Structures are given as structure tokens and as C-alpha cells.
Structure 1
């Protein structure tokens, strides 16, 4: 299954594991890479010394390519990038920021750079910035998301028409049939988040993983656009957000409610009532907690079995 993505990153299958905060540690990243995909360590929930530890452990756990996802809106960005360069990581996925800021610097150290976008406009800006690949993420995705609410089905062909770079589709992809659909729309590979959040190697809390497998359609909603759009499970914390919205869209009140460590409380520590629980709409299709290797095996089997009817 060779594509421009497998050739760019030196991997067997064009499946990238999303670098999710509080889920994507060295165990998950190395397991995905060992199974033939591209594992990503999620730097967004790690202090620099913690990131260093995860990179070193990942390097011991796999001889295959892996990368680091770096949200550029987080603090300590310069120190994080210095560690990535020092330890010889060769793949970086950037998000939540301007790709022109660090792309050329990272590439000067032999690092391949992919940038995550939620619109065709920013895909074009990423291409102009010289990135090696673009991840186009639709509105269905979990975690931080685009304000325009463009779905993957619309976003991927639009971006494909606009850019010539290798294109990775993200948002609402957990099954092999969904992967095939993304490829038909013009993607060269897929990035999968929510499916890998509920795996044995994910560093998310076990209670959170089990909750993911019970979620139904409509269990999540994109909210907090006044701060940074994020898709959340509708729990007690979400209802507190809704109360603020019912009395006006006050960014200060929302920021105070969010506070510090709210996502850690929910996804890492397992406070399913008061924590921030980020997951994609595709969670409605997830009913098991497999290993990362089983996820790839199942997706590839489903991909090969999915047929397109002749007209």
C-alpha cells in the first residue's frame, strides 16, 4: 500500500496515529510504528523533561519511524523543539499556529514537517510555508478543532484541488471503509485519533477508555469557540459551559471555568464528571478497547474488504 505518505515517512501503511494530549505517550507511539503505521508522541500535555523521557523510551521500543506532535500555542515551544532536534527525531507534526514560524528551521535539521489545518485557506498557507505534508482535519474530529465546522467529506476534496503536497485526511476516521473513502476523496493517507485513544497502549485513564466505548451519536459537541474550539463529551463540566452560554457568551467566565488542568483531570485522571473529555464523533462506532496493532490490522482488513459498486 505505497503512497506519497508511506514514501515520505518511510512507513509501511499510510496510517498516522494522532498525537493526542494525555493519550499519546511512548507506549502508543511505538506500538503503532511497530505495526507499520506512524506513531506520534503528543507533546501538548508534556513538560519538556517528560517529553525527553518519552522520546528516549520510544527510541528504545521501536526501530521504526515515529514523530512528535507539537501544538504551537503551548508554552516552552522553543525548549520542546530543541529537545526534538537534540534527540534526533525526524518527523514533526505541528498544529495550532503559523507553519512559517518553525518549518524551515526544523527542515534544516533533516526533519520532515506536516502541519494540521481545518480549511483550504490554511492548507495553501502551509504549502507556501514549505511543509512536507498537510493534515486536513474535519469538524468531526475530537480535541481542538476548526471554527468553520467544515466536515471531512467536504474538506478533503477541496484541499486536494488546492495543493500538490502529500495530503493526510483526519476527522471521523476509525474504520477501514472510512479510510478508503478518504483516499477516494484524494487523501494519500489518514490520521486516526479517537480510535487510538481507546486502546490498551493509550495513556488515557481506563475509566475514560471504557466510557468512550459507550458513547452514542450526539454525545459530543464542538464548544468553547471563544477560547479555542474543542469537541467535548456532554458531561457535568460541559453542562456548566452551557449555563454560561445561556446567560451570554462571556470569554472571561469560560476561561475561569476551564481553569488549569481540566483536560488532565478528565482524560488522564479519570474524573468523568468534572473533567474535560475530548473525543471525536466517530466514538459512536467504538465498542472495544483493542491493542494498537489490532487497530491497524482491523483497519487494513476493512480497507481491503470495502468495495465500490460499479455504476
Structure 2
């Protein structure tokens, strides 16, 4: 299957694995790339020396394209960028910040740049900054999210109307049918996060993966909008947040409840009570933990079957 996204990245399929915190290490990224998608290393949960290790291991594990996701809020971002350049990584996804800051630096060094946005306004800013493609991520997505709560169903066609560069849909996509729907809405490809959390190769804790599989409709909620909106599985930590909200908590009190390293505690260390469990609404449609290659294969098979039913409904 060839289109603007596969041509841009040099992949077989227009499927991008999300660079998820505490889940997207070299094992997952290389497995997705080897299966025909684009694997992404999630730098947000890596010290610079850890990112270097994962890039080098990923290069040994696959001869296909892979990328690195870098949040602009990362405190030592210059060190990450220097590593990315020195290791000759060809694709970088940026998020959570102004794309103007690093896009020129990366593109001058021959790197393809993609920026993640949650609104038309920021999509236009990213296009004007010179990025090669945009990920438009809807409110359904797990982890850190947009404040406007625009759903993928609305966001993708709205962004498509305004930009000319390739568009990648994210948020609420875990099946081939959802992939087809996103592409009918105007996307050239999809970024899949939560489904790959429930993969064998994901570096997240097995207890967290099991919770993702057990999740039902309504088991996630967007919260902490005053700090940084994040979608979480409902657990004791989530309920603690709701309790302080009910008491009229200030920003300082919210920060105190949040504390430090909550995401690592929950998703990487497996503390299901006190940890932050970031996952998307689509977790309600994830029923098993599988190898990443099988997930890619099933996505494409489901996509082709759904497309055929539209073409030949009888």
C-alpha cells in the first residue's frame, strides 16, 4: 500500500507506532518497523544516554526506517537532538511545544520532521514552521492531550481542510476499521498508541498491560487540565485527584498530589494503585496482548476487509 505517508517514511504501510512514554523502547520500535510500519522510540522517558542505547540497539535490530519522538518540554532536549543527529536518525516526531524551535535545525541536517498537534490552529503553525507532516491527535488519545477536547472524528477533516502536507490521524485507533475511517476523513496514515502498549515488545510493565486489556468503556478519563491534560485509567491515584478537585484544590495542591515519577511508577514499575496509568479510550476494544508484528498484520487485514465491504456491501 503506497501513499504520501509511506513515500515520506519509506515504509510498507501507513501505520506509525506512537512514541509512548515508558512503552516505546527499541524492541517495540524495531518490531513495528520490521513488520512494515514505522517504529518510534519514545524519548520522553529516557535520559540522553538511555536514548543513545536504544537508538543503537534499534539500528542493529532493523534495517528499516524508524524514528524518535521528542517532547519539546524535555529539560535536556539539546542533548537528545545532538544524539539524534550524531546517530543519523532520519525521522523525528516533535510534540508538546513550538515546532519552530527545532524544525529548521533538524531539516538542515536531512531529517524528516513530523509535529503532533491537537487543533487546526497548531496544525497551521506546524505547517508554517516547515514540518514534513502532521499528526492530528484527537481527544480520545491516551496520555497527554489537548485542552479543547476535539474528537478525532471532528479534528481530522478540520485539519485536512487547512493543510497541504501529509496528515496522520491519532487518537482512538486500534483496528483496521478505525484506520479506514480515519483515512476516509482525510488522513494519509494513522498513529497507533494504546494498541501497541498491549504488545509483547512494549517496555511497559506486564501488570499495566493486563489492566489495559481488562479496561471497559468509561474506564479512562481526561484530568489535570490545569497542569497538563492527561487521560488515565481510573485507579486509586485517579480517585485521589478527583477527591482534591471536590475540595476545590489549588494548582499547588494538585501538583502536590501528582508528585514526581507517577507515570514511571504506574506504567513501568506496575504500581496499579499509586501510579499514573496513561491509556486511550480505545483500550475498551483491546482484548489481548500480542506480538507487534501480529498487531500490524491484523490492522492491515481488518483495513482491507472493511474497505472491501464498502466497495462491495453485498
TM-score normalised by L of structure 1: 0.99
Q: Which residue number in structure 2 is paired with residue 16 of structure 1?
A: 16
Question: How many angstroms apart in 1 are the aligned matches of 2:26 and 2:217?
Answer: 31
Q: Displacement, 1:247?
A: 1.2
Partner of 1:275: 275
Q: Distance in 1 between matches of 2:311 and 2:285?
A: 23
* Alpha-carbon distance in 1 for matches of 2:49, 2:227: 28
Name the structure 2 match of 1:183: 183
**In the alignment, what sits opposite 1:192?**
192
SS in 1 for 2:161: helix
Structure 2 CA distance, aligned partners of 1:308 and 1:206?
Answer: 38
Aligned length: 311
Cα distance in 2 for residues equivalent to 1:46 and 1:228: 20
Determine the C-alpha separation between the residues in 1 that align with 2:312 and 2:28: 39
Q: Name the CA distance, whole Å, in 2 between partners of 1:5 and 1:177.
A: 18
Aligned to 1:28: 28
* CA displacement at 1:260 relative to structure 2: 1.1
Stretch of structure 1 that moved more, 249-258 or 101-110: 249-258
Deviations 1:173-216 (A, max 9, x none): 00000000000000000000000001000000001101110000
Query: 1:54 maps to what in 2?
Result: 54
Give the superposition deviation at 1:308.
2.1
Q: Note the C-alpha offset of 1:258.
A: 1.1
**How far does residue 249 in structure 1 lie from its aligned partner after superposition?**
4.0
- Measured in 2, the distance between the counterparts of 1:227 and 1:3 equals 38
Q: Corresponding residue for 1:99?
A: 99
CA distance, structure 1, for counterparts of residue 295 and residue 181 of structure 2: 18
2:137 is matched with which residue?
A: 137
3-state SS of 2:28 partner:
helix
Q: TM-score, normalised by structure 2?
A: 0.98
In structure 1, the residue matched to 2:250 is: 250
Matches for 1:1-311 after TM superposition, within 5 Å: 1-306=1-306, 307-308=309-310
Task: Return the offset for 1:309.
Answer: 6.7
Cα distance in 2 for partners of 1:214, 1:308 equals 31
Q: Distance in 1 between matches of 2:146 and 2:98?
A: 14
- SS of alignment partner, residue 99 of structure 2: coil
Tell me the distance in 2 between the aligned counterparts of 1:33 and 1:310: 32
Structure 1: which 5+ residue stretches go unaligned? none
Which blocks of at least 5 consecutive residues in structure 2 are unaligned? none
Cα offset for 1:16? 0.1
Which aligned runs of 4 or more in structure 1 are off by greater than 6 angstroms? none
